[in-house]
Amino acid sequence: MHSRMVCAGCDTARPADELLSFSCPNRGQGEADHVLRVELSPETIVAGWPQDTLSSDENAFVRYRKLSHSWHLATARGITDAEYVAMAEELGERLSEVEGKPLGITPALRSEELATAIKNETANISGSHKARHLIGTALHLEIADRLGAKTRDSVLAIASCGNAALAAAVVAKAAGRRLRVFIPPNAAEAVVAKLEALGAEQVVCERLESDPAGDPCYLRFVEAVTGGALPLSCQGGDNALALIGGQSLGWEMVEQYREDLPTDIFVQVGGGALASSLIQAFSMAHRAGIIDALPRFHAVQTANAHPLVRAWKLLRASGESVAEARAKRASFMWPWESEPVSIAGGILDDETYDWLSILTGLVESHGSALVVSEERLREAQAIAQSTTRIQVDATGTSGFAGLLQARSSGSLPKDARPLVLFTGAIR
């Protein structure tokens, strides 16, 4: 096998032939955070890198298949490349039918006015990058079934009432699978209606007297998974397969921006799967020599909830390495104390689950982690919308808010060539 799933918390590699590497079995043990990540050797990346010219109507899960753990697992176990392509294409076609538009490569733009490159994920299936995490997971489940797993016997589960839930509902429908979505009592009506139209089962989660601290939707989701449901979720700790699909975004960006590589990438961070998938893809591409330099990554969170920025500052102040910090989780990462509110609701996770991988990437790339105010978030969304005419939401422009912040504080070098991601469309 040229690809493996390894725990960022305890370095344990999952068995090469494991069909469903959702999470590290050592989770909950010791002080470390057990989140699996995907590792591909530099030779694998060079060998799997697409040679033909990228065209916008391609299916990224076909184009970058040889850079995915799912493909390496499949072909090591006897599935042919042609069979894999057929499965990825079939899923792509079903997604296009459900969505009413083709699955394609999302636009890589450059805005002279905003002086930044913009990767537009609002054009993705279901209107956000979240679809990538879940398409990758759904494809992996098909592969696993072909190899003998019986995942169709299980319901899929997710706790979300935003972009992730909508993406999960589209993907589950396209894959012909049952999905249970755990939502809060105050979920937006528009989202509830869409989930219903897509045939997703909804479980409204009130806080129970007996509940420990934390989001009741997430608690019910964990109970469901413990009871046999499979996670169709976007958090790396519960569903490491989400990172496989997430990396397709990184590969796509490396290819699109390779000729004029950005020096600085500002990425919004909630649970952290987006940033960790991206950072890992870029750093693997760098190690493989596909790109000459690794852009500096900047993680952006709201002033109202920034557990990752807090961890970054604590790490800096301690003078410790990420390797030293990971054994002392409680000193770096804990749930945000107050109930956070923000117009960028998608990045309000009270913990950053993938913090170890992200901090590693920030250190390796000489990047940073920064907070933005609500005012800055509003400003960023307004400027982005009026300049680009893209109907992007405030979470979707929160990385761009980070760029504005870095510019105004003078921390961005004058000759920087930044890149931001517009990750979610207005509903």
Ligand X SMILES: Cc1ncc(COP(=O)(O)O)c(C=O)c1O
- Positions in 163-192 near ligand X (CB under 6 A): 163-164
- How far are the Cα atoms of 22, 131, 141, 142, 174 from residue 152, in angstroms, in the given order? 16, 20, 9, 9, 14
Sequence-ordered strand ranges (E) for 276-395: 296-302, 368-372
Measured from the CB atom, the residue of 21 and 122 that comes closer to ligand X is 122
Q: Which of 2, 3, 5, 7 binds Zn ion (CB under 5 A)?
A: 7
Tokens representing residue 236 in the block: 């790396």
Among 4, 9, 158, 267, binds Zn ion (CB under 5 A): 9
Beta bridge partners of 370: 300
**Alpha carbon distances (Å) from 285 to 5, 180, 240:** 17, 36, 20
221 CB-side CA count, 13 A = 27
> Does position 237 bind ligand X by CB under 6 A?
no
27-66: contacts with Zn ion (CB under 5 A): 34
Interface with ligand X, residue 381, by CB under 6 A: no
Helix (H, G, I), strand (E, B) or coil at 157: strand
Choosing from 395, 402, 404, 412, the residue that interacts with ligand X (CB under 6 A) is: 395
Q: Choose between 24 and 370: whose C-beta lies nearer to Zn ion.
A: 24
Does 6 bind Zn ion (CB under 5 A)? Our answer is: no
Contacting residue, 48, 245, 250, 271, with ligand X by CB under 6 A: 271
Question: Which of 20, 123 has the CB closer to Zn ion?
Answer: 20
- CB proximity list for 327: less than 8 A, separation 6 or greater: 30, 31, 32
| Choices 26-34, 173-181, 374-382, 417-425 (CB under 5 A): range interacting with Zn ion | 26-34
Which position among 128, 247, 248, 301 is part of the footprint of ligand X (CB under 6 A)? Answer: 128
What's the one-letter identity of residue 342? Answer: S
Among 17, 26, 80, 327, binds Zn ion (CB under 5 A): 26
Nearer to ligand X, 174 or 243 (CB): 243
Which CB, 73 or 134, lies closer to ligand X?
Answer: 134
Residue nearest to Zn ion (CB): 7
What type of residue sits at position 426?
A: I
Cα(129)–Cα(215) distance, integer angstroms: 23
Distance in angstroms (rounded) separating the CA atoms of residues 72 and 59: 18
Distance of CA 375 to the CA centre of its chain: 26
Q: Kindly state the number of chain residues that form the binding site for ligand X, as judged by CB under 6 A.
A: 21
One-letter amino acid of 34: H
Rule CB under 5 A: choose which of 10, 76, 222, 363 binds Zn ion.
Answer: 10
> Cα separation of 157 and 230, whole Å?
6
Q: Contact residues for Zn ion (CB under 5 A)?
A: 7, 9-10, 24, 26, 34
Q: Contact residues for ligand X (CB under 6 A)?
A: 128, 130, 162-164, 234, 268-275, 346-347, 349, 395-396, 423-424
